[in-house]
Structure 1
Amino acid sequence: MAGASGTDAVAERVRAAMVAVPRAGFLPRARRRDAAYDGPLDIGHGQTNSQPRTVADMLRLLAVRPGDRVLDVGAGSGWTTALLAHLTGPTGSVLGVERVPELVRFGAANLERAGMPWARLVAARPGVLGAPDDGPFDRILVSAAPRRLPQGLVDQLADGGVLVIPVGARMTRLVRHVGDSDEVSEHGAYRFVPLVTDD
């Protein structure tokens, strides 16, 4: 990641995004009163809206820049997709993909109300992880845990692109270097629902 001042700037941008895109608007009506709870909240269909502190940690690691093209895997309620859209601004683009049809409808409706047309949330293609036809991406965020690092997602990154994903119980940050070794680092233990990878 960037040096100390750069890290501070990233953290401030993430804080601003969390204020600008309130969690409550992305929760089922019955759970909105719990929006301030710093823990995961059930959104149905075996999925959760992630703990805000965890989301902030992941966004800091991702270090989204204005104008970036971003993929949000496991978009769920659309909250992370909207946060990413705030960070890219209208010069960027964010694509959220979700497997559960009911959550696709719920998340897309939430995102539409957020009023950021440079972001969209769509159904994941059966048997396809991510959105290879829409890449390459500058940043990829994954909000579910695979057993191992999915090479298919790494391949969807642009040169110098960043992937943040909880592999097993370890938050993993990968910086892609096409033609050279990718830079991989781990950043603490977290719990997420499993990622379905079809492999």
Structure 2
Amino acid sequence: MDPVLDAFSAVPREGFLPPGERGFARFDEPLPISHGQTNSQPRTVADMLHLLDVTPGDTVLDVGSGSGWTTALLAHLTGPEGSVVGVELEPDLVEFGRRNLAATGQAWSRIEQAEPGVLGWPREAAYDRILVSAEAEAMPSELVAQLAAPGRMVLPVAGLMTLVERSATGKTRLSEHGWYRFVPLRPS
């Protein structure tokens, strides 16, 4: 079975949407969650998770955790032997995401308030996998520095979905995987 599709079945999108949007959860489109942010289109999330290739036991950073849905999906993929930390800039969304995530009972995952001027969550680096659900104008070196060797990071850069692969020796390889639209990535 496809682990990403299994995660989608185990972690329904409805529980991560504001009440007025829950009736649209099955639509394959981004849905508003507040502060100009969205719960990403399911097909886009699936594409990103397939590229990220999370395995049980991985340590994962989720940048731009929003409603907590991607954090919960990642936690399902890592299982309790792994760990996931989501980072979100908007305080209201941090609280919304924390409540939603807590309802899944995945104690090996959490959402933190982004630190002023800091991208990611460097205090617990390095991460086996990093998912970024906001568009960078250029490759953010701060996040690349938080990636383990070996490791994988998936993020949109200037509209292109980009996979960053770091080998065990620390060598980095980039590949592009189609055009996508996201809210802009910005440090707090």
Structure 2 counterpart of 1:187 = 177
Equivalent of residue 149 in structure 1, options 125, 136, 139? 139
Equivalent of residue 175 in structure 1, options 162, 165, 180? 165
Partner letter of residue 139 of structure 2? L
CA contact (8 A) 2:8 2:73 kept: yes
Equivalent of residue 43 in structure 2, options 53, 56, 77? 53
Structure 2 counterpart of 1:140 = 130
Structure 2 unaligned blocks of 5 or more? none
Deviation by residue 1:5-45 (Cα, 9 ceiling, x = unmatched): xxxx6xx0001001110000000011100000100000010
Q: Is 1:128 matched with 2:132?
A: no
- Offset at 1:180? 5.1
CA contact (8 A) 1:146 1:197 kept: no
Structure 1 unaligned blocks of 5 or more? 1-8
Runs of 4+ in 1 over 2 A off after TM superposition: 177-181
Partner letter of residue 192 of structure 1? F
Alignment of 1:94-133 (within 5 A): 94-133=84-123
TM-score, length of structure 1 as denominator length: 0.92
TM-score, length of structure 2 as denominator length: 0.97
- Secondary structure of residue in 2 paired with 1:31: helix
CA contact (8 A) 1:137 1:158 kept: yes
CA contact (8 A) 1:77 1:103 kept: yes
- Secondary structure of residue in 2 paired with 1:91: coil
- 2: CA distance, partners of 1:66 / 1:88: 4
- Offset at 1:168? 1.1
Structure 2 counterpart of 1:34 = 24
- 2: CA distance, partners of 1:180 / 1:194: 28
- Secondary structure of residue in 1 paired with 2:33: strand
Structure 2 counterpart of 1:3 = none
Structure 2 counterpart of 1:4 = none
Count of matched residue pairs? 188
Partner letter of residue 97 of structure 2? G
Partner letter of residue 45 of structure 1? H
Structure 2 counterpart of 1:5 = none
Partner letter of residue 73 of structure 1? V
- 2: CA distance, partners of 1:125 / 1:45: 18
Structure 2 counterpart of 1:164 = 154
- 2: CA distance, partners of 1:54 / 1:129: 22
- Secondary structure of residue in 2 paired with 1:161: strand
- Offset at 1:177? 3.2
Structure 2 counterpart of 1:85 = 75
CA contact (8 A) 1:67 1:90 kept: yes
CA contact (8 A) 1:42 1:49 kept: yes
Deviation by residue 1:122-141 (Cα, 9 ceiling, x = unmatched): 10111110011111100000
Percent identity between the two aligned chains: 59
Partner letter of residue 176 of structure 1? R
CA contact (8 A) 2:150 2:169 kept: no
